Structure 1
Amino acid sequence: MSDQFTFTVTNDTEQAITELWVSLDDEDWASFTLSDSGIPSGETVTIAWAEYTNDSPCEWYISAVFEDESESESALFNFCEEPALTFG
């Protein structure tokens, strides 16, 4: 049985989030797989980390891409202390 680590993302913006990206160093980025509808405005979704990240640090940079292709500023986030994230 795998212990998958999860976190929630709440979208409090006017637009759907279409992509979610994370980075340990704010340079090399990896994306999470979202559903076709992404994260609609006003919705909260639970996202699972890939198993290979299990031994990685708690702090990651995170950035969102919205349906108009604009991007949020990348922000350093501690997923161990607070596994709930809100954009907006």
Structure 2
Amino acid sequence: MSDQFTFTVTNQTDLAITELWVSVDEDEWLPFTLSEEGIPSGETATIVWAEYTNDSPCEWYISAVFDDESESESALFNFCEEPDLTIG
């Protein structure tokens, strides 16, 4: 069994999060696969990193897209130190 790295995202906005994107450099963005309902308002979801990211740096930019198609500002997180994120 491979080591799977996870983190949680708590949605404290009034809208569901429908997409979650990460980037090391804010140039190339990679999507996470979310369930069909995304992350509903007030809910927390556990997100699994793809195995190919295991040797990646700890710091990634993250951005959320909401069900009204608005986007959050990208923010830099250190996932090694803080694996529980709150958006909102």
**Identity rate, percent:** 82
| TM-score normalised by the chain length of structure 1 | 0.99
Distance 1:51 1:45 in 2: 19
Q: What is the Cα deviation at residue 52 of structure 1? A: 0.1
Structure 1's unaligned 5+ residue stretches are none
| TM-score normalised by the chain length of structure 2 | 0.99
- 2:72 is equivalent to residue 63 of structure 1: no
- Give 3-state SS (helix, strand or coil) of 1:60's partner: strand
Where do 4+ consecutive residues of structure 1 move more than 4 Å?
none
Where does residue 85 of structure 2 map in the other structure?
85
Distance 1:87 1:61 in 2: 13
Distance 1:58 1:32 in 2: 16
Where does residue 14 of structure 1 map in the other structure?
14
Tell me the matched-pair count.
88
